[in-house]
Amino acid sequence: VTSDYHLYGSGKYLFRFGVGGSGIGLDLGFVTKEYNGFRAGVSLINALGVIEWNKQGLMRDIVAGPDGSMATDDDLFNPSEFLGFPAINEYQAISYEYTIDSVNAEGLSNPAVFTSEPFKAVDNVDPDGKPKEFKTNYPAIFRAGGSYSSELFIISSDIWTGFADQFYAHAGWRWSVGFEFLKFPNIPLRVGFAYGGPTFKELGLGFGYHMGPMIFDFGFGFKNGLWIHSMQGLNLSLQLTLTSFKGRNKKPAVPNNGDGPAPLPEDAATDEEP
């Protein structure tokens, strides 16, 4: 609330925690067969995605320990305590309240104008005295893209958007393009660029090491920048994959017409007399 001379305010936050939630998720997608090296696809990730909390379930019973109750000494894991809050059970939540009293330009440096209560556990039950159930809805992400591959390189590009700014989704379009150089079969080299989305622009570099059943990949990207002096952060990615010890399946080679049997001479093609 603002007046002619001061700013007043107050707020209350309620932090709820859940363990062992259950839900359902559905992704939809379509991809074409490769045609002359080209391939395209479209997908809708989390077309349906929801998790329900504070319901009985196997994971919740395991985490609660032998007594089956949270916020006791035998808990295998308590999320609120792990984050530095008081330990709570499914019947409770963490409350935080604050007030702002008579703030103006002169009193901004006065700590007394902002007061708050320490985090505390409060009841969080429905009218029947049962834990309040709550849901986490995962935002959908739409993505469409295409690629072209040859023996020496792969180039791909896609465009995607989310429908909400939460859970790594962003309500804005983002275009990206990537190039993978395959001159050295066991050491692919990669470079990519993205424009839009939460980081605006990003340049990524990376490489891989593929040997037998082992696939090792490393990459990094400059957040909101194109080089070290202009970046505002750094993304790092490290991945190790083990496949069948028989090795990875490679794309079968296209048969060469010159490898077939030589044609018979015209006079030897038949033994019949004219």
- pLDDT averaged over every residue in the chain: 83
| Residue 178, helix vs strand vs coil | strand
pLDDT band for position 2 (cuts 50, 70, 90): low
Parse the chain into domains and list their residue ranges.
7-25+50-137, 141-242
DSSP summary character for residue 106 = T
Q: Is the pLDDT of residue 272 over 60?
A: no
- Highest mean pLDDT among 59-73, 87-101, 251-265 belongs to 87-101
Q: How many helices (H) and strands (E) does the chain have?
A: 2, 14
Q: Is the pLDDT of residue 268 over 70?
A: no
Q: pLDDT (tens digit, 9 = 90+) per residue, 176-221?
A: 999 999 999 899 999 999 999 888 899 999 999 998 889 999 999 9
Q: How far is CA 100 from CA 6, 41, 121, in A?
A: 10, 52, 23
Q: pLDDT (tens digit, 9 = 90+) per residue, 153-167?
A: 999 999 999 998 888
| Residue 82, helix vs strand vs coil | helix
Q: Which two tokens stand for residue 232?
A: 């505002």
pLDDT of residue 10: 84
- Please enumerate in sequence order all residues whose Cβ is within 8 A of that of 117, keeping only pairs 6 or more positions apart, or say none: 95, 96, 97, 98
pLDDT of residue 253: 55
Q: If you average pLDDT over residues 263-272, what whole number do you get? A: 57
Q: Is the pLDDT of residue 257 over 70?
A: no
Predicted structure pTM score? 0.67
